Structure 1
Amino acid sequence: MALTLRSASAYVADHRHPYQRDDWLVSYQQDLLAPFDVPFDEKFLKQGANIGFQELAERALDGLGERPEPDLVVIAHGLPDHYPFRSIGGHVDKLVGGGSENFAISDQGLRAPFTALRIGNAYARSGRCRQAAVVVVEQSTFGQDEPLARDGKLADSAAVLVLDNGSGRWEVAAVPPAGHLRALLRDTVEGEHPLVVAGPWTDAEQVAATGLADHRVAPGSYCTSLWLDLARHHEEWADRHDAVVLCDTDPRTGRSHAALLRRRDTEGTT
């Protein structure tokens, strides 16, 4: 059985922490960037919000009201953590009671949450997952000039999706391989009449060419964008649409990604 969306939460930080120099972090950043001839500049750390993944994940979990009890926790991020020496999956596991299988998906850009959904569905179909928590995190403090975070254009944010084997209204119906946006939309919406939820990096003309109702995600995030809006609006979308296609195009690769959620009209769902 495919996973269904039981509950979700979105968090966007509106605060920052003062910079406290950490010699170990500075040394790590310098060593990390040097092989790629990317200059390290401590001013970017001083200017940043200095909010890490652990805090963002915790704030998003608090927004759920009732803590889930997942047996699978998947962290997804397209950009690295501000402080890379902490375990995020283990921290989330502790917050939800412990005992889950947990890991992170990284180095895939904004594809990471789509991969997380695909993995979660595979676990559920094989009987290894009763409930999954997908935690998408993104922070804006780097030791170099990061174009996606330049001029304060990247929010420190997190979204939590709690998925289980049947109590939610939205079923994760398909997560197709990456491709070109036009073809991906055509193939994903075939036979469906969904709301197309388009990330800020998608081509608006290609989305409009589908002739379907669409919701445009506002700029300000990279990997978390679609999932923040899904967390905010999934209940109202379920009252108006029988399917949702979430799609975005990674500005770094030009490759597009999509996921189809199909509404389940079953008595007793929440």
Structure 2
Amino acid sequence: MLTLTAASAVVATHRNPYVPDEWLVSYQRDLMTPFGVELDPERLARGAGVTFQELAGQALELLPEPPKPDLVVVAHGLPDHYPFRSIGGHVDKLLGGGSENFAISEQGLRAPFTALRVAAAYHRSGRCRVGTVVVVEQGTFGNDEPLARDGLADTAAVLVLGGGGPWEIAAVPPASDDLAELVSASVAGHRPLVVAGPWAGDLPDLPVHRVARGSYCTSVWLALARHHEEWAQAHDALVLCDTDPRTGRSHAALLRRASQEGTT
């Protein structure tokens, strides 16, 4: 049984001095121009310039103790400010090395849900005893990114998955076009809590913790990292969910109190 054994969340408040980087500008311009997207280097200069490596490192430092994972999965819905570094390899190095590590991207806010599903599958197959999922997001872009127009915080959440924690990773169902139906099908327990992201619409008549705007794919995972211990005192199941504003598709994950038995 794969459970949540520890978690941390960070919202960066610092800015890095802007250093013009012609290689970065050239790379991003070559990437965007074929799709009719205009690159404005001044946007890079105005941003905080915080990288995924920084965010991951800060979040790992906030854990009660560093894990020793055999699997590291990094998840992000938007690209890094400086996209030339391996984040999974960096996290692996910070944690002592030796883990299988990779990133899941190009899925929008679905990426962390996929990461959780992958970690659970690794655990079931016997290839993962301790897993670490790192969800990262930054807000510096050289183009007009719609999701960052109102400000996008530089954030990271780390979920340490192993044995003995209070929350079992019970199910990560397929995406759906109907969020209310997805949540209803996912919910379990007698005292459930729905943790809903910024774009979650109508929900079943259940207790709900709504996450404020300001983040995209990290939103519900930041809330889980901050509150999972207190929620374990009041609830026996959590449904984390949100609807991706880019696709209209909804995603959910069910966490159940580890001592609870039954079907999902």
1:107 equivalent in structure 2: 106
Q: Distance in 1 between matches of 2:207 and 2:184?
A: 14
Question: Once the two structures are aligned, what percentage of the paired residues are identical?
Answer: 71
Note if 1:170 corresponds to 2:167: yes
1:28 equivalent in structure 2: 27
Letter in 2 for 1:195: L
Which of 216, 222, 230 matches 2:210?
Answer: 216
Note if 1:242 corresponds to 2:230: no
2:225 equivalent in structure 1: 231
Note if 1:75 corresponds to 2:58: no
Q: Distance in 2 between matches of 1:5 and 1:188?
A: 18
Secondary structure of the residue aligned to 2:159 is strand
Which of 179, 182, 191 matches 1:181?
Answer: 179
Secondary structure of the residue aligned to 2:254 is strand
Pairwise CA distance, 1:193: 4.0
Deviations 1:11-35 (A, max 9, x none): 0011111110011000001001011
Matches for 1:1-270 after TM superposition, within 5 Å:
1=1, 3-151=2-150, 153-164=151-162, 166-179=163-176, 180-189=178-187, 193-203=191-201, 206-207=202-203, 210-265=204-259
Secondary structure of the residue aligned to 2:149 is helix
Give the TM-score normalised by the residue count of structure 2: 0.96
Runs of 4 or more consecutive aligned structure 1 residues displaced over 3 Å after TM superposition: 190-193
Deviations 1:25-48 (A, max 9, x none): 000010010110000001110110
Contact residue 188 and residue 237 of structure 2 kept, 8 A: no
Secondary structure of the residue aligned to 1:195 is strand
Q: Distance in 2 between matches of 1:118 and 1:98?
A: 23
- Specify every segment of 5 or more residues in structure 1 that has no aligned partner in the other structure, as ranges: none
Q: CA RMSD in A?
A: 1.1
Q: Distance in 1 between matches of 2:118 and 2:244?
A: 20
Deviations 1:117-166 (A, max 9, x none): 00000000000000000000000011101111114x210000000000x2
Give the TM-score normalised by the residue count of structure 1: 0.94
Pairwise CA distance, 1:186: 1.5
Q: Distance in 1 between matches of 2:7 and 2:37?
A: 37
Pairwise CA distance, 1:190: 5.5
